[in-house]
Structure 1
Amino acid sequence: MRKYFMLVVLLLLASGLGASPALSGERGAVFTAPLEGTVGVSMEVFAAGVLARAAEEGAGLLVFTMDTPGGLVSSMRAMTAAILDSPVPVVVWVSPEGARAASAGAFILQAAHIAAMAPGTNVGAAQPVMASGQDAPEEDMKKKITNDLAAHMRSLSQLRRRNPDLAERMVTNSVSLTAEEALAGGLTDLVAPSLESLLTAVNGRSVLMKGEERVVSFDPSLVVELSMSPRERVLQFISSPDIAYMLLSAGILMIVLEVLSPGGFVLGTAGAVMVLLGAFGLRMLPFNWAGVVLLVAGIGVLVLDLMVGGMGVLSLFGLASLVTGGLILFRAPGGELLNVSMSVIGGMSLAFGIFFIGALFLVVRSHGRRPVSGVEGMIGRRAVVVEELDPDGMVSCHGEMWRARGVGGAVFARGEEVVVSDMEGFTLLVRDSAREGTPEAYIESVKEV
């Protein structure tokens, strides 16, 4: 009986050692994770994983450091829903100095249990725009999208007991505020220049979680820093509209050049990899097939103009197609920067223009050179007799052995230098190089004609 009692005690002790801090009454650690770049599928998946881990390990607080220009509405809604459902208090801290929580980022900031900003940061400009960078295509549709997102922003602000009117104006009027202005307007809860000052201000604060008041309590000496894995970083990188556009454009160009001028498949392989990466980035963004077609057509027209030696109207159409394709490559309402930036479009178009102008210059210059193959390429070349020509024999021309015959039955001894004047099949017709350019040689060439 005593053995059974000891076994039960050991099991209870073991279960107590394995309990999470939240269940054991201990103060949990502080988890921190960055939310940087475009709000998209990759950021959504990363944030969901961080929230799940913080809940599983009984964290006392989760701090998201944010710096985003905006992103997809669908990903923003998924992230705000996950934060609202989190059993761990969540702080969204716009940091470091110079960072912003624009567009979709403003919604995520309002969803946090505690909204904080560092000095020198800003929030707002959450008016819905098309991912191509333009307003919604129709006034009625734009109004519906704006009203829907304004209601979502207002509900988040009311839930967190902030200023819903000012929050709504970020959507309807694209209001943008500094950290100090947001705090004074009741849009955020505090301004903190560092993580240490943030934790000091937050510890012991009361927050509303699922309708119940809860005091935030954690151990500030236990800070667990989470970051994206290499795979997640790559996905976040290629899901940027600018990067996807550059990968697709450069990759398509490489593949076209490989097809036109095979060179060991190195260029084609690199192009295929770039196109695949760009296509994967498109898969994570609401892309427009018309934009993809315009990109391919633009590069095709540029290559066609190069092949026909034009560099005129066709090239202008090709560059215009590249620019238009970049402008309409992405669509659907989202963040203010869910489009290819004009600097990237202009830079890529300029690079393509310089490349094709340079290639055309080389082609035109090569047309003015003396031919290096065929009959035209052989005429005028000097050769050395290696087997006496009487009148037939062998000569060495341009490092190759050729059958040769002296013009007019001329005889040449071994070692003499001759000049190719014509070809008959694979036999070179040669004359004395010493007479090249003399009146006699000219008379002989006229007779041959």
Structure 2
Amino acid sequence: MILNKGSPILPFFFLVLLLLIPSVASAEQTVLVLDISDSITPVADDLVIDALQLAEQNEYEALIITLNTPGGGVDETLKIIEAIDRSDIPVIGYVYPGGTKAWSAGTLILIGTDIAAMSPNTIIGSAQPVSVSPQGIEPIEDDKIVNALVALAKTKAKQHGRNETTAEKFITENLNLNDEEALEAGIIEYVASDIDDLLEQVNGQMIKGKVLNTKGAAIENYRPSLRLSFMDIISDPIISSLLIMLGIYGIVIGISNPGAGAEIFGIVAISLGLVGMGFDVNIAAIFLILLGVILFVLELQAPGFGIFGLAGLVCLIAGSIFLVPMDFPRWYSPADVQRSMIIAIVTPTIVMGILFVFVFYKVLEVRHKKPVIGEDPIGEMANAIEDIKAGEEGFVKYKGEYWKAKVEEEISDGDKVEITDVQGPLFTVKKIEEEGE
């Protein structure tokens, strides 16, 4: 078909072409989604930095960080916020899915993103720092600490045009807001039912000198490398603490039963636990755990009373409590979350400790128990396997087993003897006179 200038089809053709161009461009846009659905651990900042680099290299339209977290480390939180500021990629913080929360450190991260959004029925806040002590969990009232957090929250809120007063109340008053309250307070910009809804709402916004073209954009989920995935697992405070405790038990078992390979398992488990914690371990916890191991070894060398074993178990349990990274600023989460984490770590430690002590004493009981025979051997017959002089001890064979025996009169190798008495593992035997002798 030939089109000429007077043809009515030509304008129609160009109109269709113009309509198609925007949709094609929109379909080519992609956003990267990073899911933070647990605590902010020592590897969380690595995940965010890696996701930002990936988004920059592939020229993604934006990075969405979905938040469902009880909080986490302050250092990691600061590194995440700094990485977001340094990156040229627009970062959207999104508390998602519905019914979840972004408390404490999670709230600060949300305030530090370029665009802040929440899904329906979500909560942010509970950012008052707390500390763990033998007396319980108490709020931190040190002006130096509180003022530093308030300054950070207000600075990030001002940077992104959000309500500074509300940002301050998250810390000073432990304020909590749901999605509707946060939107009304001006601490977030959007409430979206899902990621597609969020992308449609933010479309056209100017962020970091770039107009977002996110309507109908493709969604790609961030997949960390194998190394980061593994680190993400072992950096969970519950996992890392239990790895250290299992490692301790492994070493104790290895000391009591050399050659079983338990020592190797113990060393590997402790190493992984330390790596997961970023080698940031409470010195008091290490001291108590080592003391517990020493007491178990002493019990192994001098069993019977159980004092060393019981004291060792108490030290291990106390050490596991101190292993929990609950002290601020190592951990920044609400008091209820910290209580739950302490219970989650200490409970299996107590159970494993009691089980370990039970098995430990059963092994020692068997090890030190006098040998017993299934039935009374008195009156039974055995065979001498060596010459034994009168009044001395030697060995006889009884039901396929070798037993130490004491004789009243001399016997020779091969003689048949009768068992007349049993004292623990020692038989008393006498020679059976054969007919005709």
**TM-score relative to the length of structure 2:** 0.77
1:47-75 Cα deviation digits (max 9, x unpaired): 11111121222111211111222122221
- 1:270 aligned to 241, 265, 276, which one? 265
Residue pair 1:383, 1:398 contacting (<8 A) in 2 also: no
Letter in 2 for 1:76: T
Whole-angstrom CA distance in 1 between matches of 2:395 and 2:96: 82
Which SS does the other structure have where 1:342 is aligned?
Answer: helix
Cα deviation for residue 136 of structure 1 reads 7.5
Structure 1 pair 33–216 and aligned structure 2 pair: CA distance change class (3 A) = same
Identity among equivalent positions (%) equals: 27
- Point out where structure 2 has 5 or more consecutive residues left out of the alignment: 1-24
Which residue in 1 is equivalent to 2:236? 240
Cα deviation for residue 175 of structure 1 reads 1.4
Letter in 2 for 1:218: T
1:101-137 Cα deviation digits (max 9, x unpaired): 1111111101112111122322111122347785577
Query: Where do residues 22-421 of structure 1 align in structure 2 (5 Å cutoff)?
Result: 28-130=29-131, 134-135=137-138, 142-204=142-204, 206-209=205-208, 214-218=210-214, 220-262=216-258, 264-282=259-277, 284=278, 286-302=280-296, 304-305=298-299, 307-312=302-307, 314-315=308-309, 317-329=311-323, 330=325, 331-333=327-329, 334-336=331-333, 341-360=342-361, 363-364=364-365, 369-371=369-371, 384-385=382-383, 395-400=396-401, 407-409=408-410, 416=416, 418-419=418-419, 421=421
Root mean square deviation of aligned Cα? 3.8
Whole-angstrom CA distance in 2 between matches of 1:405 and 1:73: 75
Structure 1 pair 220–417 and aligned structure 2 pair: CA distance change class (3 A) = farther
Whole-angstrom CA distance in 1 between matches of 2:161 and 2:386: 106
Structure 1 pair 239–410 and aligned structure 2 pair: CA distance change class (3 A) = closer
Which residue in 1 is equivalent to 2:430? 431
Structure 1 pair 365–154 and aligned structure 2 pair: CA distance change class (3 A) = same
Residue pair 1:381, 1:420 contacting (<8 A) in 2 also: yes
Whole-angstrom CA distance in 1 between matches of 2:110 and 2:94: 8
Whole-angstrom CA distance in 1 between matches of 2:320 and 2:365: 31
Cα deviation for residue 318 of structure 1 reads 3.4
Whole-angstrom CA distance in 1 between matches of 2:404 and 2:156: 91
Letter in 2 for 1:237: I
Whole-angstrom CA distance in 1 between matches of 2:215 and 2:422: 94
Whole-angstrom CA distance in 1 between matches of 2:427 and 2:26: 100
Residue pair 1:70, 1:101 contacting (<8 A) in 2 also: yes
Which residue in 1 is equivalent to 2:10? none
Count matched residues. 392
Letter in 2 for 1:172: T
Whole-angstrom CA distance in 1 between matches of 2:168 and 2:400: 81
- Range that drifts further, 251-260 or 338-347: 338-347
Whole-angstrom CA distance in 1 between matches of 2:427 and 2:311: 48
1:226-268 Cα deviation digits (max 9, x unpaired): 1222321221221222222211111111111211222x33222
Whole-angstrom CA distance in 2 between matches of 1:386 and 1:99: 79
Residue pair 1:36, 1:66 contacting (<8 A) in 2 also: yes
Whole-angstrom CA distance in 2 between matches of 1:255 and 1:269: 8
Which residue in 1 is equivalent to 2:22? none
Which residue in 2 is equivalent to 1:8? none
Cα deviation for residue 299 of structure 1 reads 4.0
Whole-angstrom CA distance in 2 between matches of 1:355 and 1:381: 42
Letter in 1 for 2:195: L
Residue pair 1:242, 1:344 contacting (<8 A) in 2 also: yes
Residue pair 2:243, 2:270 contacting (<8 A) in 1 also: yes
Whole-angstrom CA distance in 2 between matches of 1:258 and 1:362: 14
Structure 1 pair 404–172 and aligned structure 2 pair: CA distance change class (3 A) = closer
Which SS does the other structure have where 2:67 is aligned?
Answer: strand
Letter in 1 for 2:33: T
Letter in 1 for 2:262: L
Residue pair 1:100, 1:123 contacting (<8 A) in 2 also: yes
Whole-angstrom CA distance in 2 between matches of 1:342 and 1:390: 65
Cα deviation for residue 94 of structure 1 reads 1.3
Which SS does the other structure have where 1:250 is aligned?
Answer: helix
**TM-score relative to the length of structure 1:** 0.75
Whole-angstrom CA distance in 2 between matches of 1:299 and 1:159: 52
Whole-angstrom CA distance in 1 between matches of 2:164 and 2:371: 77
Whole-angstrom CA distance in 2 between matches of 1:37 and 1:433: 79
Residue pair 2:407, 2:428 contacting (<8 A) in 1 also: yes
Cα deviation for residue 76 of structure 1 reads 1.0
1:414-433 Cα deviation digits (max 9, x unpaired): 6x56227589xxx9862269
Letter in 1 for 2:39: T
Whole-angstrom CA distance in 2 between matches of 1:301 and 1:394: 40
Whole-angstrom CA distance in 2 between matches of 1:270 and 1:193: 47
- Range that drifts further, 47-56 or 224-233: 224-233
- Point out where structure 1 has 5 or more consecutive residues left out of the alignment: 1-23, 374-378, 435-449
